[in-house]
Amino acid sequence: MEDSPTAEPHGGSFRFSLLALLLLTAMVAVSCSLLFASQGWVRVFSIIIFVFAFPTVWVATLIYGRGYLRTFAIGALCSGGTVAVFSGLLLIYVSFAMISSYSASWSELAEQFAEVTFGPAVSVACFFGINVITGRIAVATRWMIESSRRL
C-alpha cells in the first residue's frame, strides 16, 4: 500500500532540505578557514566578530522561536551573553593598551598578532560547545518540569 501525497512525512523533526545542509556545510567551512587557516590578525578579528555576533542569533531565536527552540535559545544565551560581556571588557582593555603604545602602521599591528596560534580558535570552538551544552541543559530542565506536572 502506498502513502498518499498528503500523508505526514515519516521520520522525526530532524528533516532538512539539501539546500539547508549545503548552506550549513558552507558556513562551517568558512568559519573553520577563518579560525584555523588564516593569518594571526585575521584570526583575532574573526574571533572578535564571532564572539560578539553569535549571541545575536540566540536573541533572534528567543524572540521568534517557540517551544523548546526558545528554551534552547535562553540557555545558550546565558553562556553566550556572559562570554560576550567579558570579551567586550577585555577588548576595551586591549584597545586602551594599544592606544597607549600606538603602532605606526598596520604592518606593525599585524606583526603583534603573528604569534597567535590555534589557542584562541580552539577557545571559540569550546565557546560554541558550551552554548550548545547550556541550551541542552535548559531544554532538559524544561522537559523535566513539564513531565513532573503531568504526573
pLDDT at 148: 85
pLDDT at 38: 72
pLDDT at 28: 81
Q: Could you report the per-residue pLDDT of 83-92, keeping only the tens digit for each?
A: 777 777 777 7
pLDDT at 82: 79
Global confidence as pTM: 0.57
Residues 6+ apart with CB under 8 A from 35: 43, 46, 47, 50, 121, 124, 125
Distance, in Å, from the CA atom of 140 to the CA atom of 134, rounded to the nearest integer, reads 10
Distance, in Å, from the CA atom of 17 to the CA atom of 61, rounded to the nearest integer, reads 20
pLDDT at 110: 61
Pull the grid cell for residue 65: 522561536
Residues 6+ apart with CB under 8 A from 10: none
Distance, in Å, from the CA atom of 26 to the CA atom of 42, rounded to the nearest integer, reads 19
Q: Could you report the per-residue pLDDT of 54-76, keeping only the tens digit for each?
A: 788 888 888 888 889 899 888 88
pLDDT at 79: 82
> Left (φ > 0), alpha (ψ -120 to 50) or beta: where does 15 sit?
beta
pLDDT at 118: 62
pLDDT at 6: 59
Low-confidence ranges of the chain (pLDDT < 70): 1-14, 40, 94-121
